[in-house]
Amino acid sequence: MTGLYSLYLTSKNDIGFPFSFTLVGKYNLTATVKGINIEPESCYLNVIDEKSSPRYTLLQGVDISEEETLKLTCTAVNTDTKTIEATPFFETHYRSIYGEIVPQTQVVNNPITFKSEEKKNISILLPKALSPQAYDVVTVLKYGENTSNAINTHYVLQGVSATIQNLSFDKDFYNKGDTATVSISFSPSADSFEGSRIGEESLLSEMILSGEFKNGKGRQCADSIEQKVLSSSVEIPFSINSSCIDPQFYVSLKDSNGNILAEKEFKMETTSLEKTDTSNTLILLIVLVLLILSIIIIMKMKNKNTPNGGSGDTLATPTPNTPIGMLFFLAFMIVSFFGINNMANASGATVKIDYDVGGFISVTIGTDKDIYVINEGIDATSTVTVSTCTNLVNGVTVYARVQGIGAEYETVYLGTDFEYGELSGSNGYIAPATPGDYNLEFLIQAQEGGVTHTATAIVPFKVVAPATVDVKVDTVDGPITKSTGSSVNVSWTSTNASSCSCSYVRAGDTISCGTRLYVSDQRPEVIPNLLEPTTFTVTCENIDGGGGGGGGGDVYYQLSPCNSANPAAEYRDSAGSWQTGTLVEGATDVYYTIAGSNTTDDPSKFNVAGITMETDTSLCK
């Protein structure tokens, strides 16, 4: 594969229920191995012996009967200079490429011969799965130990089926006596989509749902249920008869004859309740006990070993510094163990849109943060989750705008027919120039046939003033001049800042020159033994959690003009490189021109790119 490609990172469950879809970036690839390459954009599907031989796209989800056969047609090229004989090889996955590999029918395809650097059209008969449902079949051409690139095809095998798309609990733990509500969504037969070849879905006379409610240890938390379902989304109440941490739910869908059409187990980890981890708790308790015992022993020993006071009448008071220090250390360790989190969080919301034919889509919208500084970039994102066969979804568009400032809607996500599985999108916005509370307003439009479903949602965010900092070197603004080996005092003042950190570069290494957690803490930092032009950079975090601010101060050491006996005056520029000046003998003074710039008539000072450097004969070379 050679060319420019987009790399996407996707996450789905085994039935193709999407969780995320993110563009990683675009990359130029160059093939290092020659062989067979199938051009995906050239591929299409036909149903053998179908009237007029219409073409179907690879991910369209064309539905076929168990008696019909799909044919894949593509353009393929042999990039090698030798003849290659390749044989088609297939894998069929349940529902999507993320599903488990399932049995498939046998098909007969003759080996395909490619001459040296030959490009031609090829046709391949595809196998079918054995039960009605939606499937992905992956096709490659094998030759020796090598294979071509893979071509993925999505299709539907007609007949009665069902798919459990999603399940959710109303809480992540339950106490005895609680009523739990379990929400289940499922899609009917996979061939039940508008425009299917079968013309109408394969209907069930009735569908029976069975469910078992257990905790994380596999013990039942409620009585099992079995009931008929009449819609594609149901909410089932359960009376909890024992404590249920880390709830699990097994659900199955059957037809009236008891044939299982779909089954699934869902698990939820309890996070909103303090769960006891005996191993970690025991370790923490042992550490605390040992620290406390150590403090007590040290205090006892100090009391025992302390000599009598000078009068001999009373004992001298024991010095408490060590125990108090240890107590502070203990307090620090405890705080560090439990942690303090003051970082900005992303913000978002989820919108659900029900489809008339059953099933629904949910659109998760959000921003990369919930606090921004004025005029900072906002990254708005949306992820479309389809809880029904994507054949039902004709298109979804997500728009967004900053509410209240007269902005127009801009497109965040645009998906058409979902032929290529596009499930996420993003767009950039600019935070308002005035601090305050704002909303990013989203508009979602979903097409179902000729019907447009519309929903709106808002994601709040805050705009704050940026952190600012004023850096001083030896109490003045840089640049200043210093002799080689000198020390400087670096200090700074800040506004809207919770903390500031100073750094500089010495011999290529970045070195810290102090951190201040409080605005009132303005102690100078002493930086010793400067040997090269140095820039001090201070970066501050915004007190409200938004973006930071920064500032810098410069210090340079002196230049040696040497004397007329040594015309090769050398100096280091601000980048740290040695440069050589040119001797000029004036009418009354001796001075140098440096790097082509003009100097003053004062032989003790030279002007280099606006930086004044004074005499230091110790630098003469």
Q: What is the pLDDT of residues 196-222, one digit of tens each?
A: 887 765 666 678 999 999 998 889 999
> What single letter denotes the amino acid at residue 314?
T
328 within some domain: no
108 CA to centre of own chain:
45
**pLDDT averaged over every residue in the chain:** 75
529 within some domain: yes
pLDDT exceeds 50 at position 540: yes
Secondary-structure percent of the chain, ordered helix, strand, coil, rounded to 5 = 10, 50, 40
304 three-state secondary structure: helix
**Last residue of a domain, which of 267, 287, 316?**
267
Would you state the pLDDT for residue 518? 57
Q: Which has the higher per-residue pLDDT, 587 or 6? A: 6
CA distance 429 to 442: 13
| DSSP assigned state of 315 | B
Identify which of 469, 513, 474 has the alpha carbon closest to the alpha carbon of residue 492.
469
Name the domain count of the chain: 5
CA distance 96 to 114: 31
CA distance 261 to 254: 5
Q: Which two tokens stand for residue 161?
A: 């089926």
In terms of domains, do 490 and 351 share one?
A: no
Q: Which two tokens stand for residue 300?
A: 């006892």
pLDDT exceeds 50 at position 480: yes
Would you state the pLDDT for residue 394? 67
Q: Which two tokens stand for residue 351?
A: 């919108």
332 within some domain: no
At residue 313, φ and ψ (nearest 5 deg) are -95, -30
Confidence of residue 152 (pLDDT cuts 50, 70, 90): very high
302 within some domain: no
In terms of domains, do 124 and 179 share one?
A: no
405 φψ region: left (φ > 0), alpha (ψ -120 to 50), beta (else): alpha
83 within some domain: yes
In terms of domains, do 148 and 46 share one?
A: yes
In terms of domains, do 449 and 480 share one?
A: no
**Last residue of a domain, which of 267, 293, 325?**
267
Domain that holds residue 19: 3-156
In terms of domains, do 247 and 116 share one?
A: no
In terms of domains, do 540 and 475 share one?
A: yes
Q: In this structure, are residues 95 and 133 in contact, taking their beta carbons and an 8 Å threshold? A: yes
In terms of domains, do 140 and 42 share one?
A: yes
Which CATH number covers residue 196?
Answer: 2.60.40.10
In terms of domains, do 98 and 33 share one?
A: yes
Confidence of residue 274 (pLDDT cuts 50, 70, 90): low
pLDDT, average across residues 44-63: 92
Q: Which has the higher per-residue pLDDT, 431 or 544? A: 431
In terms of domains, do 406 and 440 share one?
A: yes
Q: Which two tokens stand for residue 426?
A: 């993003």
pLDDT exceeds 60 at position 330: no
In terms of domains, do 21 and 138 share one?
A: yes
Which CATH number covers residue 535?
Answer: 2.60.40.2470
**Last residue of a domain, which of 120, 140, 156?**
156
60 within some domain: yes
In terms of domains, do 96 and 176 share one?
A: no
Would you state the pLDDT for residue 450? 74
In terms of domains, do 206 and 146 share one?
A: no
21 within some domain: yes
pTM of the entire predicted model:
0.49
Long-range contacts of 507-513 (CB under 8 A, 24+ apart): 507/531, 507/532
Would you state the pLDDT for residue 116? 94
In this structure, the number of other CB atoms found within 10 A of the CB of residue 517 comes to: 11
Q: In this structure, are residues 92 and 104 in contact, taking their beta carbons and an 8 Å threshold? A: yes
Would you state the pLDDT for residue 620? 33
For residue 479, cis peptide bond before it (omega within 30 degrees of 0): yes
Q: Which two tokens stand for residue 238?
A: 């359960």
Q: What is the 3-state secondary structure (H, E, C) of 152-183?
A: EEEEEECCCCCEEEEEEECCCEECCCCEEEEE
CA angle 234, 239, 242 (to 5 degrees): 130
CA distance 201 to 193: 7
Confidence of residue 415 (pLDDT cuts 50, 70, 90): low
321 within some domain: no
